[in-house]
A and B are shown apart, each in its own frame.
Chain A
Amino acid sequence: MSDPGTGEQLLRTAHQLIVENDDIANTLELPRLASRLDVIREICRHLAPYQAGERPIVGATVIAKDLTIDSLAIMDMVMELEDSFDVSIPMNVVAEIHTVDQLADTILDLRAKR
C-alpha cells in the first residue's frame, strides 16, 4: 500500500469502491496518491484494445490518430477514467486533449484541484 509508484493494487481497489456510488463510497477516498504512472497505466489499459499493429502505446501516442479508436469510444473511455479517478473532464476539455500524456496531466490537474 505504501508505494504509489507501483499502485496497481491500490488502483484496482479504488475502482471497485467507486462503482457503487453511495455515501459510504464517498467517504472512502480513492487512492489519495494516484501517481502519474498509475494514471498512465490506467489509460493504457483502456487503450490497449485499440493498439494499431506492434507500435506500443506511450505518453506521446496521439489517441485519435495513432490508435484505431473512434471519437465516441474516446468519450466513453473518458467516462470510465472519470470514475476511476473521481474527477469530471468537461467535453470541451476532452476536445483539446490529443496525447496520452495530456490526458494523464489533465486528470492529475483536476485531482489536485479537488
Chain B
Amino acid sequence: MEIADVAMRYGGAEGTLALQGCSLSVQEGEFVAVVGPSGCGKSTLMRLVSGLWPASAGQVWVAGREVAGPVPLVGMAFQNPTLLPWRSILDNVMLPLEVVPAHRARLRAERAAYEAKAEALLKLVGLEGFGKRHPHQLSGGMQQRTSLCRALIHEPPLLMLDEPFSALDVFTREDLWAVLQDVWLERKPTVILVTHDLREAVYLADRVLVMSARPGRIIAERRVDFPRPRRLEATYDAEFNAVVAELRALIARARAGEEPDA
C-alpha cells in the first residue's frame, strides 16, 4: 500500500484542509500504527485508503492498483461497534458476505461452510457459543470483538482499524490487544491501526507513524522490533517505556507546531 503526496480538503475550496503532502507506504503483511494529535486527519486517511472518498490531490495505491473507488479488499472497524441490533451476532459477522460480490454469489449454496467460518472467527476472539445472541445481550467489549470478526470474515488483505479499542476499559482493551495480535499472527493481513494510546501502538505495531497537526502529514516514524508474540507484561519493561516516551515527545512537538495557528 502506498500513499503519495496526498492532500484532502473537505467542502470546496474554502473548506477544511485535513491532509496535505501526506506520504507513506506500508508493506504487505505489515502492522502499522498511526498516532497524532486529535483532528489531524487520521480518520480521513482511512477513508482515502478504503476508497470511500477521492483524494483532492495525490495518489493512493493498494495492492499495486490506484484506488478510484471502494474495493472490497479492506475490512474496517471503528470506535463504536456499529452492529445491527436486529441481527444475531452470527448474522452480524456474516453481513460482509452478503455484500462483497465474490461471496454473495456463493453464500446461498455454501451457507454451512461460511457459517462454520464465522463460528471459527468468533472462537478465535473468545466468543464461542454467542452466535445466536443479539448485540444488546453482549457487553461493550464483546460487541467490539464481534465488530472485529465482521471486519475479518471476508478475509481482507487489508485491515483498517480506527481507534477500535478506545471506548473500552483498560483490562478489556488489553485482552483485545492480545486477540488482535493472535489474529494478525495467524492470518498476516496488512493492518493500519489508528490509535491515541501509545502503549497500544507500541505493543501491536511493527512501525508507528506520527502525524503532524492539521493539515496532517507523516512527520516521523519509529520501528518497533520487539519479538513476537509480545507479552502484555513486557509493556512495563524499561525498553518498551523508552519507545513510548520517545513517541510521546514526538507528538508533543507535533502539537506544539499547531500553536501559532490556534
- Do A and B pair up? The answer is no
Q: Which residues of A contact B (CB under 8 A)?
A: none
